[in-house]
Structure 1
């Protein structure tokens, strides 16, 4: 079976956003997500609301759907206060919270709190962030002194009965190894690199994206084997890493979900269509996808 989720960018005031989160549940999506950024790409000068209160509000007006960060990063998070946020979200949602985590990108908000780290520093920081957060969410007291973080008698009371799932974004060997070792799921957008020879042909670029995704999936197989996992990772694919927006039409999304399931992805995610700009698409495409969910979820 494949689970299908939808990302709602944190741009609407709650009076509008509330109905969308409820609608995602009513339509039968398995999970709903929002980005954990301070601002983002071409939307840097548009409205953008905070992640944690938005997910808390969404948890309070829904009952079944899982809710998550896609993805939280150390770019502006310290594991100790963020651990408390995670505890709260897990409690308010009744255990429905999914903790998507990534190393952090190089976008606008990467250096908003100070000089952005190098790629090597980001990877080491991510490893430490995951380790500290895991300890915080499984032990009542945490002490840690590392390269990037300190925690001195940090308390987690109550300790969650079950630690929220850690879903780790990973693209290279080191982060894949981290996901296989410490995660409950693997998150990917696929490759963002588009060779010059296909840059003007979006269908060729789209097929190349799928081919590279198959390679990445095989690499994750190897990482899981090397880690000696007894339980396979759930695998979360955001279809909108592809050159063609998934909800350009419902058929594009349905085809993508079927192809992802054939590659072994357990969870596939699309974006709620916007009126213009990035992720622009017709609302009817989302509605038609929702109508097709029962058949897709049985794949």
Structure 2
């Protein structure tokens, strides 16, 4: 199983840089950051843009994959965003993965005025469809309900061919259909619940439903990586080394190929101890087959 770590974009670079370097040194296969204008309980705190942050992270790392968890249409248009993604893919020398989702309601849809669409799912489908075209074609003309592109140029294209990978966030059947069609990977946050056992049961149902979506289009299960956002669970994955081992075992048993946790914070959301992270890196990550990047 491969493991990933989320580093929230809340620190000035002089402090954040060591976390990105450490993520690679610890042996995580991928490292991610949130792509929001502001996020939930942290909206009044420090917050930085995902694209320049990931470019900086790419410049100080060599092997670890980097990505957004997740970018959304809430404040982005596919045409300029495709240019930014191409740049990230180039700067990282083909180590960038686009985590992409429909986007939730909240600050991102309010800060620029009410940008909530009539259909979040319809906009999401167009967003991913157009990004796929922009990143694989030399010229793209597209006219949809939410987005338009006129002779948009794609040169020089991605380092990764035919384009950089998409990991598509999906919990429901319509979003899963998008993930099944366009995703190199699928990521789920599981159901919204405060009960640990209920959350794991919901994750199992979602994994089964996603396999059904793959079957419906005749796509082999092994061609898609299954990512689990472990810290959407009511119990933080790095509460202890024992908890992390438990999460790894349960995710693996459900067929997930990739597990994503969050860097411990001093307080609030994802509150934990960096000493636990260090022990996980020293004692658990080396045991996981395929975990070492490169």
TM-score (norm 1): 0.93
What root-mean-square deviation, in Å, do the aligned CA atoms of Structure 1 and Structure 2 show?
A: 1.3
What secondary structure does 2:270 align onto? Answer: coil
CA apart distance, 1:179: 0.7
1:13-68, CA deviations, whole angstroms, 9 ceiling, x for partnerless residues?
Answer: 00011111000001110000000001100001000000000000000000000000
Q: Contact 1:100–1:166 (CA<8 Å) still a contact in 2?
A: yes
Q: Contact 1:10–1:50 (CA<8 Å) still a contact in 2?
A: yes
CA apart distance, 1:298: 5.7
User: How far apart in 2 are the matches of 1:278 and 1:232?
Assistant: 34
Q: Contact 1:258–1:296 (CA<8 Å) still a contact in 2?
A: no
> Could you say which residue in structure 2 is the equivalent of 1:137?
135
> Could you say which residue in structure 1 is the equivalent of 2:179?
179
Q: 1:243 aligns with which of 225, 234, 237?
A: 234
CA apart distance, 1:183: 1.2
Q: Aligned runs of 1:62-77 on 2, under 5 Å?
A: 62-77=61-76
> Could you say which residue in structure 1 is the equivalent of 2:16?
17
What secondary structure does 1:246 align onto? Answer: coil
1:65-112, CA deviations, whole angstroms, 9 ceiling, x for partnerless residues?
Answer: 000000000000100000000000000001000100000101211222
Structure 2's unaligned 5+ residue stretches are: none
What secondary structure does 1:212 align onto? Answer: helix
> Could you say which residue in structure 2 is the equivalent of 1:43?
42
What secondary structure does 2:45 align onto? Answer: coil
Q: Contact 1:59–1:67 (CA<8 Å) still a contact in 2?
A: yes
Which structure is richer in relative contact order (CA contacts within 8 A, separation 6 or more)? 2
Structure 1's unaligned 5+ residue stretches are: 200-204
1:96-147, CA deviations, whole angstroms, 9 ceiling, x for partnerless residues?
Answer: 00100000101211222232425x6110000000010000000011111110
Q: Contact 1:140–1:155 (CA<8 Å) still a contact in 2?
A: yes
1:155-186, CA deviations, whole angstroms, 9 ceiling, x for partnerless residues?
Answer: 11102241111110001111111111121110
Q: Aligned runs of 1:1-299 on 2, under 5 Å?
A: 2-117=1-116, 121-161=119-159, 162=161, 163-192=163-192, 194=193, 205-230=195-220, 231-291=222-282, 292-297=284-289
User: How far apart in 2 are the matches of 1:160 and 1:284?
Assistant: 38
User: How far apart in 1 are the matches of 2:155 and 2:223?
Assistant: 30
User: How far apart in 1 are the matches of 2:224 and 2:124?
Assistant: 19
User: How far apart in 1 are the matches of 2:158 and 2:10?
Assistant: 30
Runs of at least 4 residues of structure 1 off by over 3 A? Answer: none
User: How far apart in 1 are the matches of 2:197 and 2:276?
Assistant: 22
What secondary structure does 1:11 align onto? Answer: coil
TM-score (norm 2): 0.95
User: How far apart in 2 are the matches of 1:175 and 1:288?
Assistant: 36
User: How far apart in 2 are the matches of 1:284 and 1:165?
Assistant: 33
User: How far apart in 1 are the matches of 2:81 and 2:100?
Assistant: 12
Q: Contact 1:75–1:111 (CA<8 Å) still a contact in 2?
A: no
User: How far apart in 2 are the matches of 1:110 and 1:258?
Assistant: 37
